[in-house]
Structure 1
Amino acid sequence: MISVVQGDLQLLSQYYPKPDQVLQAAKKDNIKQEIRAVLSKALKSAVEQGLKTLMLPVVNTRGPEILVEEIAHLMVSEARKYMSLHTDLKELTFVLPDMEGVQAFREIINRKKIVCLGDSITYGYPDGPDFSWVTKVVHKTGYQMLNRGINGETTGQMLSRLQIDVITEKPSYLIFAGGHNDSWQQVPLQRVRHNIQQVVEGVLHQGICPILVSPSPLNIEQLLQSYEGTRRDAEDYHENLSQIRQWIYQYAREKEIFTLDFYTPLLLTSKDQGDPRYLLDGGHPTHEGYSILGEAAIQQLAGRLHL
């Protein structure tokens, strides 16, 4: 749980008498990145000490350079990001000296929406959103999830609609699921990496916590039966997608971003191929496949969302 209260910071300061107990965002060249880094350090210290709850005073000593609303965006999204991975920390309370600050933080903390930005596997192809994994999660959890999947889209196209489909909705979380169409269209891996990085950084600065998704598996034999193209085309698709998936894992570890595993649940036992029982055409899930992804999302998100 994440909350905010107004408090007397002078009174609280007596509990932090040592200079090394006060963390400051001192760098002037990238104050936003520094604020996120300082908060991450504080949360890491709390977890290392075995704390279950943490009260964190926030003082803006850089008023002319950054507004309290911007600080709220940065700190709440970073807190959600960190706590989605480190579930031992159960409660975080920000303490602000005035109601202006409290209201700025409360606006971000009270957000309930979760936007799911993706391609046809988010949309629910071929039968539509009612059969998607997103709808399965909503029906069983009551989460306020918005399905923003569009058939055939690449990560670049998703990035281009980040403002209108995600940021304007003011969600608490973004679940980003892309890569299949980049792989099929042979978009260079460097470009895919750039797109995903831009999405992550873009939403964090808007008070939105990113969650990435490892792309679901393919079945090459099914692909050959369902699509025009050679075996080499199908194998290239498979290899490109594997590279994107591995990069997502690596990037998520480096940036400490929680990642939903949509790869393993549909995988054929002991093979790097999707299970044909749960795939319609070698790539898109069947109705049962979408149900499996929905159940996987529910289980993996349990205890990690702070709404």
Structure 2
Amino acid sequence: MQPMPIDATASPHTRRSLLLWPAALALLSACRQATTGVRVAPGQTVLAFGDSVTHGTGAGPGEDWPSLLAAKTGWQIVNAGVPGDTAQAARSRLAPLLRAHRPALVIVELGGNDFLRRRTHAAVKEDLRALLQAAREAGAQAVLVSVPELSLLGALSRRLSDADLYADLAQEEKVPLVPDVFSDVLSNPAWRADHVHPNAAGYREMATRLHAALVEQGIAAP
């Protein structure tokens, strides 16, 4: 980036602002960079922790994204998806799973059922924060999967977007984020079984894009 020329006739306040401008842009760019993770080797245990979309509702046995991701990575993925689960309720079931499986990685996909129950984004964010922190305290790294925002515009346009809280939380907690995958799949009628669940093709797309994101973040091998 070329330095901005500074007018010698500018006020001292203006000159200070112009001098600080490149540093401010560099800081903003650094904040927007994706958080990278630690490589998880084939054979290690990974916990897929979520709701019905992690469970695989809408497709047949073995067509859920955790099973498909396991085939791509060689990881031993425990599918801990519970249909109807909320980020709030999930807080009580994570600790026993962490003790039982001692995963190297926890992939968190939750929040959709909280949105359906009209819980505030602030409350959902804090529940998800507690899950991420519990995973880290157990010695696992965590990855957060963004979930679509419920909105009238999204319903009318048939184009869903991630709830903003996921990007904010990932930045605050310094955890890798997988954005857009869930929203893009549910925005495509060919990839969904209903308005909230992918079908088999949708889960294949989710697994492919989750794998690509985890490779980019240094967590999965190419």
Normalization by structure 1: what TM-score? 0.52
1:198 aligns with 2:130: yes
3-state secondary structure, aligned to 2:62 = helix
1:181 aligns with 2:99: no
CA distance, structure 2, for counterparts of residue 213 and residue 170 of structure 1:
20
Letter in 2 for 1:276: P
For residues 102-159 of structure 1, the C-alpha deviation after alignment (integer angstroms, 9 at most, x for no partner) is xxxxxxx9x9211010000000003455110111111222111110001111111211
1:213 aligns with 2:145: yes
The answer for the alignment partner of 2:63 in structure 1 is: 131
CA RMSD of aligned residues (A): 3.4
1:280 aligns with 2:193: yes
- Cα shift at 1:216: 4.9
3-state secondary structure, aligned to 1:257 = coil
* 1:130-149 alignment, distance < 5 Å: 130-149=62-81
Q: Which runs of 4+ in 1 moved over 4 A?
A: none
Q: Where does the alignment leave 5 or more consecutive residues of structure 1 unmatched?
A: 1-83, 91-108, 221-230
CA distance, structure 1, for counterparts of residue 148 and residue 63 of structure 2:
17
CA distance, structure 2, for counterparts of residue 188 and residue 85 of structure 1:
26
Judged with a 3 Å threshold, the aligned counterparts in structure 2 of structure 1 residues 278 and 265 are, in CA distance, closer, same or farther, namely same
> More displaced, 247-256 or 287-296?
247-256
Q: Give 1:305's match in structure 2, choosing from 199, 219, 222.
A: 219
- Cα shift at 1:189: 1.9
Letter in 1 for 2:188: D
1:252 aligns with 2:170: yes
CA distance, structure 2, for counterparts of residue 196 and residue 217 of structure 1:
15
Q: Give 1:291's match in structure 2, choosing from 187, 190, 204.
A: 204
1:203 touches 1:210 (CA, 8 Å); kept in 2?
yes
Letter in 1 for 2:35: L
The answer for the alignment partner of 2:35 in structure 1 is: 85
For residues 150-198 of structure 1, the C-alpha deviation after alignment (integer angstroms, 9 at most, x for no partner) is 1111111211101122343111111000011011111222221121111
CA distance, structure 1, for counterparts of residue 213 and residue 105 of structure 2:
15
The answer for the alignment partner of 1:155 in structure 2 is: 87
3-state secondary structure, aligned to 1:161 = helix
The answer for the alignment partner of 2:22 in structure 1 is: none
Structure having the higher Rg: 1
CA distance, structure 1, for counterparts of residue 50 and residue 61 of structure 2:
12
CA distance, structure 2, for counterparts of residue 152 and residue 284 of structure 1:
12
3-state secondary structure, aligned to 2:106 = strand
CA distance, structure 1, for counterparts of residue 105 and residue 201 of structure 2:
26
Judged with a 3 Å threshold, the aligned counterparts in structure 2 of structure 1 residues 265 and 211 are, in CA distance, closer, same or farther, namely closer
- Identity of aligned pairs, percent? 23
2:36 touches 2:176 (CA, 8 Å); kept in 1?
no
